[in-house]
């Protein structure tokens, strides 16, 4: 009697697998991947390119070659689809849930510029140079109750006072802060933070000015659409005990990482890009996402 060969080559990844049914053409991982692409209604050319990629490289991150998790939907390494160019569906690549958040609305070249510049700043203190970002959406909206508490009316023009936060001259006898600092203070108060945290954050600004806690760059105060617009960042995710100042972009990139984890990945990604060094995974203390199960 002829022996039945039960192994089959998967149409997706090309690896050998044992099909449950005679007509199964994809291994379970690729079958799941196919369902996800169908649920996303990706154009057929994009689907073809993704299969080509998987066939050549397997399920590894397009940017860092890190192995991706295909089943654990809350893992930072869960395989997600990323618009290579923000909001442009003509090229979709696969990456990890974490890197997808860090890349946010950056072009690939911008992402690598920022990773390498941050790593250089961290290692050698090289000043971080801001660049113009092509697709930054400017999604930070000023809080509703962040109203200016600055000079009211135009009557009190004569005496010159100083803003008690930045030291800038102000022209109002009854104002404690300049209009910009007043907005900042209102924003800080709108966050329901403990009074000690508010005091510590104000002390930071008094000492250092509106400077990014992580990179020392000067923050933008008046343009919420700028990637360099200041935001209040929970130093430890969700912990109101310490709030630091950073810009919108770095806040997005830091995501739910601790500062230590953030710098670990910045340096590891930079080492991958510059030296081809393999990026090792790290257990993350707070990062947790749950992607829905796609059905189509
Ligand atoms: Zn497969
Ligand atoms: Zn001020």
Ligand located closest to 166 CA = 2
Determine the distance separating the centroid of ligand 2 and the alpha carbon of 229, expressed in angstroms: 16
Cβ pair 109, 93 in contact under 8 A: no
Cβ pair 25, 11 in contact under 8 A: yes
Determine the distance separating the centroid of ligand 2 and the alpha carbon of 241, expressed in angstroms: 24
Determine the distance separating the centroid of ligand 1 and the alpha carbon of 28, expressed in angstroms: 7
Q: What is the pLDDT of residues 253-295, one digit of tens each?
A: 999 999 999 999 999 999 999 999 999 999 999 988 877 776 5
Determine the distance separating the centroid of ligand 2 and the alpha carbon of 180, expressed in angstroms: 6
Q: What is the pLDDT of residues 180-190, one digit of tens each?
A: 999 999 999 99
Q: What is the pTM of this model?
A: 0.85
Determine the distance separating the centroid of ligand 1 and the alpha carbon of 57, expressed in angstroms: 12
Determine the distance separating the centroid of ligand 1 and the alpha carbon of 19, expressed in angstroms: 11
Ligand located closest to 177 CA = 2
Q: Where are the domains of the chain?
A: 8-103, 127-271
Mark the residues whose beta carbon lies below 5 A from ion ligand 1.
10, 12-13, 27, 30
Q: What is the pLDDT of residues 245-254, one digit of tens each?
A: 999 999 999 9
pLDDT of 108 higher than 90: yes
Determine the distance separating the centroid of ligand 2 and the alpha carbon of 250, expressed in angstroms: 23
- Tokens at residue 196, please? 């000690």
The arithmetic mean of pLDDT across residues 81-89, rounded, is 93
CA distance 68 to 50: 14
CA distance 20 to 285: 39
Ligand located closest to 10 CA = 1
Ligand located closest to 185 CA = 2
Determine the distance separating the centroid of ligand 2 and the alpha carbon of 268, expressed in angstroms: 38
Determine the distance separating the centroid of ligand 2 and the alpha carbon of 8, expressed in angstroms: 70
The arithmetic mean of pLDDT across residues 9-20, rounded, is 90
Determine the distance separating the centroid of ligand 2 and the alpha carbon of 207, expressed in angstroms: 12
Q: What is the mean pLDDT of the chain?
A: 89
Determine the distance separating the centroid of ligand 2 and the alpha carbon of 171, expressed in angstroms: 12
Report strand pairing: 161-162 vs 169-170: antiparallel
Of 137, 140, 121, 139, the C-alpha closest to 129 is 121
């Amino acid at each position: 009697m002829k022996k039945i060969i039960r192994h089959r080559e998967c149409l997706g990844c090309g690896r050998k697998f044992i099909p449950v049914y005679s007509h199964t053409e994809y291994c379970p991982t690729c079958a799941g991947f196919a369902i996800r692409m169908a649920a996303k209604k990706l154009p057929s050319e994009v689907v073809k390119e993704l299969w080509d990629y998987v066939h050549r490289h397997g399920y590894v991150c397009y940017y860092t070659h890190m192995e991706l998790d295909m089943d654990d939907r809350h893992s930072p390494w869960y395989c997600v689809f990323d618009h290579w160019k923000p909001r442009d569906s003509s090229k979709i690549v696969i990456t990890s849930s974490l890197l997808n958040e860090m890349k946010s609305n950056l072009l690939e070249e911008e992402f690598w510029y920022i990773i390498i510049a941050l790593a250089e700043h961290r290692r050698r203190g090289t000043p971080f140079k801001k660049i113009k970002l092509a697709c930054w959406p400017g999604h930070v909206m000023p809080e509703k109750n962040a109203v200016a508490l600055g000079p009211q009316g135009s009557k009190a023009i004569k005496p010159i006072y100083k803003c008690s936060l930045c030291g800038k001259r102000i022209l109002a006898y009854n104002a404690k802060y300049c209009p910009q600092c007043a907005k900042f203070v209102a924003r800080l108060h709108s966050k329901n933070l403990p009074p000690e945290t508010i005091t510590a954050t104000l002390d930071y600004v008094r000492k250092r000015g509106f400077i990014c806690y992580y990179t020392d760059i000067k923050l933008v105060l008046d343009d919420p659409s700028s990637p360099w617009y200041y935001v209040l960042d929970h130093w430890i995710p969700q912990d109101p005990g310490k709030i630091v100042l950073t810009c919108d972009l770095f806040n997005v990139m830091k995501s739910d990482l601790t500062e230590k984890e953030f710098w670990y990945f910045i340096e590891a990604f930079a080492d991958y890009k510059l030296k081809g060094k393999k990026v090792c995974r790290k257990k993350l203390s707070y990062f947790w996402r749950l992607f829905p199960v796609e059905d189509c």
